[in-house]
Structure 1
Amino acid sequence: MQGTADGFDYGALTPLAAFLMACLGAALGLRCVVRTVHLEKGRKAAWLALGAASLGCGIWSMHFIAMMGFRAPDASITYDAPLTLLSLLVAIVVVSVGMFIVGYRGVAPMTLATAGIITGLGVAVMHYLGMAAMRLNGDIAYDNLTVTLSVLIAVAAATAALWAAVSIRGFLPALGASLVMGVAVTGMHYTGMAAVTVHVHSAAHAYGGESAASLVLPMLLGPAVFLLLAAVVVMFDPLLVAGDEREGSRRARAAF
Structure 2
Amino acid sequence: MPITHNPVLVIVSACIAIASSYLALETANRLMASQKSNQRFWLVGGAIAMGTGIWSMHFVAMLAFSIPLYVTYDLPIVLLSLLLAILASLQALFVVSRPSVSTSTLLGGSVSMGIGIAMMHYSGMAAMRMPATVGYNSGLFALSILVAVVVSLAALTLSVIFRDEKFSRRFGLKSLVACVMGGAILSMHYTGMSAASFTHQPEIVVALSGIDNAWLAAIVCTFTLLVLGAMGAMLYGEAGSIRFD
- Alignment TM class, shorter chain as reference: 0.7 to 0.9
> Could you say which residue in structure 1 is the equivalent of 2:45?
50
TM-score w.r.t. the length of structure 1 is 0.84
Cα offsets for 1:106-143 (capped at 9, x unmatched): 33100011111111110110000000000010101111
Cα RMSD of the aligned pairs, angstroms, is: 2.2
TM-superposed deviation, 1:165? 1.4
**Within 5 A, what are the aligned runs for 1:1-256?**
3=1, 6-8=3-5, 10=6, 12-73=7-68, 75-104=69-98, 106-168=100-162, 169=167, 170-202=170-202, 206-208=205-207, 210=209, 211-213=211-213, 215=216, 217-238=218-239, 241=240
| Alpha-carbon offset, residue 38 of structure 1 | 2.2
Q: Is the 8 A contact 2:32 2:99 kept in 1?
A: no
Distance 1:56 1:207, change over 3 A: same
- Look up the SS of the partner of 1:68 in the other structure: helix
Could you say if the C-alpha distance between residues 212 and 71 of structure 1 is closer, same or farther in structure 2, counting changes exceeding 3 Å? Answer: same
Contact 1:140 1:198 in 2 (8 A): yes
Unaligned runs of 5+ in 2: none
* Cα pair 2:132 2:204 within 8 Å, conserved: no
Q: Give distance in 2, aligned partners of 1:7 and 1:225.
A: 29
| Structure 1: runs of 5 or more not aligned | 249-256
CA distance in 2, matches of 1:219, 1:82: 15
2: distance between equivalents of 1:129 and 1:67? Answer: 12
Q: Distance in 1 between matches of 2:4 and 2:119?
A: 19
**Aligned structure 1 segments of 4 or more residues deviating by more than 6 angstroms:** none
Alpha-carbon distance, 1:220 to partner: 4.2
| Residue pair 1:68, 1:212 contacting (<8 A) in 2 also | no
Residue of structure 2 equivalent to 1:252: none
- Number of equivalenced pairs: 236
Do the aligned residues in 1 keep the contact of 2:88 with 2:113 (CA within 8 Å)?
yes
- 2:28–2:96: 8 Å Cα contact kept in structure 1? no
SS in 2 for 1:188: helix
Q: Identity over aligned residues, as a percent?
A: 31
> Aligned partner of 2:40: which letter?
A
Q: Is the 8 A contact 1:84 1:129 kept in 2?
A: yes
Contact 1:56 / 1:91 at 8 angstroms: preserved in 2? yes
- Offset at 1:154? 1.0
TM-score, normalisation: structure 2: 0.88
Describe the superposition over 1:176-230 as per-residue Cα deviations: whole angstroms up to 9, x where unpaired.
221111001111111111111110012x854136355365543443232111111
Contact 2:144 2:188 survives alignment (8 Å) = yes
Greater shift after overlay, 175-184 or 45-54? 45-54
